[in-house]
Amino acid sequence: MINIQKYNNGDVYEFKKSHPCGGKNWKMIRQGVDCKLECTTCKRIILIPRVQLPKKIKKTLYYAENPE
């Protein structure tokens, strides 16, 4: 059975590896087959396939108050 984690817009995640700018925190902008994330340090936007996201996330730092 596949364990699918629920991701919400506005959640902030800490990644295992740091971004070249030095930031490790990413904010979820959009989820779907690909997840769009924004670096909280330099505001760079990346797309990551949803199946690869659990391997990259270390922990959830902030949950969105009103998930869409």
Q: Are 44 and 21 in contact (CB under 8 A)?
A: yes
User: Looking up tokens 């108050």, which residue turns up?
Assistant: 65
pTM reported for the whole predicted model: 0.82
| pLDDT tens, residue by residue, 12-42 | 999 999 999 999 999 999 988 999 999 999 9
- What dihedral angle (degrees, nearest 10) is formed by the CA atoms of 47, 53, 58, 63? 80
pLDDT at 49 over 70: yes
Percent of the chain with pLDDT over 90: 63
- Residue 56's pLDDT band (cuts 50, 70, 90): very high
Phi, psi of 56 (to 5 degrees): -90, -25
